[in-house]
Amino acid sequence: MVFAAVLLLVLLFSLLRCCPYFLLDVRYFVRLLTIGRRLAAFRRTRYTLLERFLDAVAAHPHKAFIRFNEETLSYLEADRRSSQVARALLQSGTLKSGQTAALLVGNEPWFLVLWLGLVKMGCSAALLNCNMRSKSLLHCFQRSGATVLIAAEELKEAVEEVLPALLDHNVTVYLLADRCSTSGMFSFSDKVCRASDEPLDADLRSDVTLHSPAVYIYTSGTTGLPKAAVVSHLKLWAMSFLQRAVGVESDDVIYVNLPLYHTAGFMGCTGAIERGITIVLKSKFSASSFWDDCRKFNVTVIQYIGETMRYLCNTTKTPSDGIHSVRLAIGNGIRADVWREFLKRFGDVRINELYASTEGNISLINYIGKVGAVGRLNVFHKKTTQGHTYKTHL
């Protein structure tokens, strides 16, 4: 028995010397298998992220769902407010199950509440870039086939630019305000406040399957006008499982400052729903307040994209740089030199660089934290995906 144990340890030590990432490979592969089994089960039951959200509401109703500036919205409060959104739209008669509404809203709790409300009534959402104007804005709206537009109050002028064209196509336009004096636009916040917050009948979304559109997310438009990528409920699940895949736990707190109308920001929130965790939502990225926010809200997981990590490294150094609770960073686009500088300055943060695109059907995750790499294909993954597509790895 002792000899066998010693032999096993020797073999394990030799294996780790030859394959230093073996244990990380095994852990990641087990997570992928778990995710694959869950997706297969969801397909049989039509279990969408909305159902996962409702389960989280039942499990911990008073847990913080969104923290935005000084406002905190619990899971239960978000559930009730999204039910009010759905009832306000149903009562107006302007939107029916199976149709699409476009959202022109920045990073604020309304964004997620509106999307949850739309899913509750069996509808999809087109996530419009709130920086778009005129021709681009109208183009993106029309390509979605939406019959309703809901816009933030501060974007009223942007909507007014295209309002005649919208009205020509019988589009109903709502403003997130208690009053609206513009002819052809209607206030919406007041209607939501007056609506009942009672749960909606699940039959409203009985026609929704995991292959039904959940959201339309637009490309950046660098090769012409932006194009809409159709994200089904199944693909949204796969995207949202990223946090589980890299080890985000149920007691983590994620900091989302990326635009919610883009995949990275929206996926950060839907992944948080899958994990049942708290989202600290920021209206936009700010290098000067980033770490103060992380300390204030006890953030443990952060997202990044493009040059945001370099911006953090370019801020003035302070004695408190390494004082925070952040343990994990998820994103893409960090240069190797910035990666090293970030770790040197801000401490032991595990960085999981990834490669993916909204309209693509593959993704790679550098779960081992090797500086400069965008992903890793381990031996288990190669064996199980040989001759197959990578769709289950999205």
Q: What pLDDT tens digit does each residue of the chain (394 aa) get?
A: 655 555 555 454 554 555 667 777 788 888 888 888 988 888 888 899 999 999 999 999 999 999 999 999 999 999 999 999 999 999 999 999 999 999 999 999 999 999 999 999 999 999 999 999 999 999 999 999 999 999 999 999 999 999 999 999 999 999 999 999 999 999 999 999 999 999 999 999 999 999 999 999 998 777 778 989 999 999 999 999 999 999 999 999 999 999 999 999 999 999 999 999 999 999 999 999 999 999 999 999 999 998 899 999 999 999 999 999 999 999 999 999 999 999 999 999 999 998 777 776 667 888 878 888 777 666 655 655 554 443 433 3
Residue 37 lies in a domain: yes
**Domain-embedded: residue 349:** yes
Range of the domain at 316: 19-48+233-393
In whole angstroms, how far apart are CA 114 and each of 48, 79, 80, 175, 227?
Answer: 16, 11, 11, 12, 22
Indicate whether 281 and 152 sit together in one domain.
Answer: no
Average pLDDT, the chain: 90
Which of 374, 113, 146 is CA-nearest to residue 260?
Answer: 113
CATH number, domain of 367, equals 3.40.50.12780
Both 301 and 365 in one domain: the answer is yes
List C-alpha distances in Å: 344 to 294, 304, 348, 367. 18, 17, 8, 19
**CA 172 – CA 95 distance, rounded (Å):** 9
* Alpha-carbon distance values, 275 to 34, 65, 217, 241, 373 (Å): 14, 11, 22, 9, 26
Based on the domain organization, do 337 and 386 belong to the same domain? Answer: yes
* Domain final residue pick, 147, 175, 208: 208
Regarding whether 86 and 25 lie in a shared domain, the answer is: no
Shared-domain flag, residues 141 and 287: no
Q: Is the same domain home to 35 and 141?
A: no
- Look up residue 83 and give its DSSP letter: H
Distance CA 13, CA 7 (A): 10
The reported pLDDT for the residue numbered 32 is 83
The pLDDT, as a whole number, for residue 336 is 94
Q: Work out how many domains the chain is built from and give that number.
A: 2
Residue located via tokens 């208690």: 178
Quote the strand ranges of the chain, DSSP E. Answer: 64-68, 71-74, 100-104, 124-127, 148-152, 172-176, 185-187, 213-218, 228-232, 253-256, 278-281, 301-305, 328-332, 350-355, 364-365
Tell me which amino acid residue 387 is: G
Q: Which of 208, 242, 263 is the last residue of a domain?
A: 208
pLDDT, one tens digit per residue, over 14-52 is 545 556 677 777 888 888 888 889 888 888 888 999 999
Q: Is the pTM of this model over 0.85?
A: yes
Check if the beta carbon of residue 281 is closer than 8 Å to that of residue 68: yes
Let me know whether 44 and 144 are in one domain: no
pLDDT of residue 366: 85
Q: For position 3, what pLDDT does the model report? A: 52
103-142 pLDDT per residue, tens:
999 999 999 999 999 999 999 999 999 999 999 999 999 9
* Structural domain includes residue 67: no
In a domain, 10, yes or no: no
Task: Report yes or no on 7 lying in a domain.
Answer: no
Give the domain CATH number at 95. 3.40.50.980
Q: Can you tell me the distance from the alpha carbon of 309 to that of 338, in angstroms, rounded to the nearest whole number?
A: 7
Q: Do both 269 and 353 map to the same domain? A: yes
Whether 221 maps to a domain, the answer reads no
In angstroms, the CA 214 to CA 235 distance is 9
Same-domain pairing of 83 and 170: yes
- Same domain membership, residue 95 and residue 41: no
Beta bridge partners of 218: 228
Q: Are 248 and 282 contained in the same domain? A: yes
pLDDT of residue 28: 82
Q: Do residue 199 and residue 242 come from a single domain?
A: no
Residue 148 lies in a domain: yes
> Can you say whether the dihedral through the CA atoms of 127, 132, 133, 139 is positive or negative?
negative
**Does residue 216 form part of some domain?**
no
